[in-house]
Amino acid sequence: SQQGEEDPQALSIQEGENATMNCSYKTSINNLQWYRQNSGRGLVHLILIRSNEREKHSGRLRVTLDTSKKSSSLLITASRAADTASYFCATDPNTGGFKTIFGAGTRLFVKA
């Protein structure tokens, strides 16, 4: 199974509501990243949180990391229709080599 697994698989909310997506992983990591993918497009990097950080903010995005639970969450506040996309977590396992492992993603649909 994959290192990073997002939950829920799909999420539908009204514009203005907050959206929370979760990511769980199995092995210890150096960092965790969140990416966004609009339909039929490439991924766009949103935020990176290091293993020694607990929370990070970027505009309407808030990311938390709990290394004891091997989990992270992405919160999008005051969502907009333009936030409709798939969101992926990507982990950089602390295995001594290079590898970034992407989860299967959460599909977010924001209704106007």
Partner 1 sequence: DGGITQSPKYLFRKEGQNVTLSCEQNLNHDAMYWYRQDPGQGLRLIYYSQIVNDFQKGDIAEGYSVSREKKESFPLTVTSAQKNPTAFYLCASSIQTGHNQPQHFGDGTRLSIL
Calpha distance 106→54 (Å, rounded): 22
Q: Does residue 31 bind partner 1 (CB under 8 A)? A: yes
Calpha distance 48→67 (Å, rounded): 14
User: Are the C-beta atoms of 14 and 110 separated by less than 8 Å?
Assistant: yes
Q: Does residue 87 bind partner 1 (CB under 8 A)? A: no
When the beta carbons of 27 and 100 are compared against partner 1, the nearer one is 100
CA nearest to 63, candidates 90, 34, 86: 34
User: Are the C-beta atoms of 95 and 27 separated by less than 8 Å?
Assistant: yes
Contact window for partner 1 (CB under 8 A) among 45-53, 56-64, 65-73, 74-82? 45-53
Candidates 14, 28, 45, 78; binder of partner 1 (CB under 8 A) is: 45
Footprint on residues 46-85 left by partner 1 (CB under 8 A): 48, 50
- Sequence letter at residue 107: R
Residues that bind partner 1 in the complex, under the rule CB under 8 A: 2, 4, 30-31, 33, 40-45, 48, 50, 88, 92, 98-105
